[in-house]
Amino acid sequence: MIEELNFSTELVAAQVVFFLLILLCLGLWIWSLIHCIMNKKLTDTNRIIGIVLIVVLQLLGSFIYLFLPRNK
């Protein structure tokens, strides 16, 4: 009985961590998409490329967009 309870507790903890990780990734994806749309420093061509990159590649596209060098 105790072993079953211990396994259940570990499973719930893993599910909570997984859920928080998914929320973090989703938040990053939404934030980078909004940032790309609202960024006044981007040209229209760069904005379209950024949006397509973020939407098509999802989380990887978000990281690529956020770490690309920008003109200051």
Mean pLDDT of 55-70: 90
**How confident is the model at residue 30, as a pLDDT?**
96
Output 20 or 71, whichever has higher pLDDT.
Answer: 20
**Cα separations in angstroms, 64 against 4, 11, 17, 31:** 43, 33, 25, 13
Burial of 44 (0-12, 13-18, 19+ CB in 10 A): exposed
**pLDDT tens column, 8-42:** 777 888 899 999 999 999 999 999 999 999 999 98
Judge if pTM exceeds 0.75.
yes
